[in-house]
Amino acid sequence: MGCYVWSNELWNNYLMFYDESDTDSYQFDKLLLFEDSFIPWQKVNHPVYGEVEIGGFSKNAGRLHPGFLLESDAHRNAAFCIYNAYQSSKLEIQDIKVRKLSGSLNEVTATVYNSRMLPTHYATNQKYKIDPPDYIFLEGGTVIAGMIVEDIERNICVEQKKDPHRMEIQNIKGYQKINLNWIVKGGKKYTVSVESVKGGRATAVSK
């Protein structure tokens, strides 16, 4: 789906005594689990192999938290998952400005900002074209030209010649912004809206 996946294992040997130098499972079972995870060895008759011994640590020992330690780490893990979800891309529209040009033309500029850490498209998402690009629309007049501003200081822009009223943005990185510039015929108030599969939707109107 072109999404980041966060997957982890909560339990490891360090958590037994919070000491990298002491990861003795036998001591942990004896001192803290009261020999609950270790099954004493005993002899049994196997129908094929004859007399064998079975026992040792249970199949879940070392794979999962013991019950008394699970609640704390599960809570911390849940807190991180919530924070991770909070950092999913979220687009906002800022700084819509209108400047009068000659005749009945106006210049409309706007900024679309990703206020979270994660981008709207990840590398795999872009490589395999899983999601459509982010669309930024301008309504309120007849759009003559639409441009992405690459360098606002030097006024360097890249024009999108097809459907300039609906600008296509391939990706908006975390905590980054895209500046746009339209030349519009007619209209007084203009509406800028954004639609993004991962970044959501937003709308703003010029003053």
CATH number corresponding to 91-205? 2.60.40.10
Rounded (10°) CA dihedral 19, 22, 26, 29: -20
Domain range annotation of the chain: 14-86, 91-205
* Predicted local distance difference test score (pLDDT) of residue 13: 87
* Predicted local distance difference test score (pLDDT) of residue 62: 85
* Predicted local distance difference test score (pLDDT) of residue 73: 87
Residue 91, Cβ density class (10 Å: 0-12 exposed, 13-18 middle, ≥19 buried): buried
| Secondary structure (3-state) at 63 | coil
Work out the number of other CB atoms within 10 angstroms of the CB of residue 77: 13
**How far apart (Å, rounded) are the C-alpha atoms in residues 55 and 97?**
75
**How far apart (Å, rounded) are the C-alpha atoms in residues 77 and 8?**
9
In this structure, what token pair is assigned to residue 188?
Answer: 């007084």
Q: Which whole-number Å values give the CA distances from 11 to 62, 74, 78, 91, 145, in the listed order?
A: 7, 10, 15, 36, 57
pLDDT, tens digit, 9 for 90 and up, residues 29-48: 999 999 999 999 999 999 99
Low-confidence ranges of the chain (pLDDT < 70): none
* Predicted local distance difference test score (pLDDT) of residue 67: 86
* Predicted local distance difference test score (pLDDT) of residue 155: 87
* Predicted local distance difference test score (pLDDT) of residue 165: 97
Q: Which whole-number Å values give the CA distances from 80 to 5, 8, 70, 74, in the listed order?
A: 13, 11, 15, 10
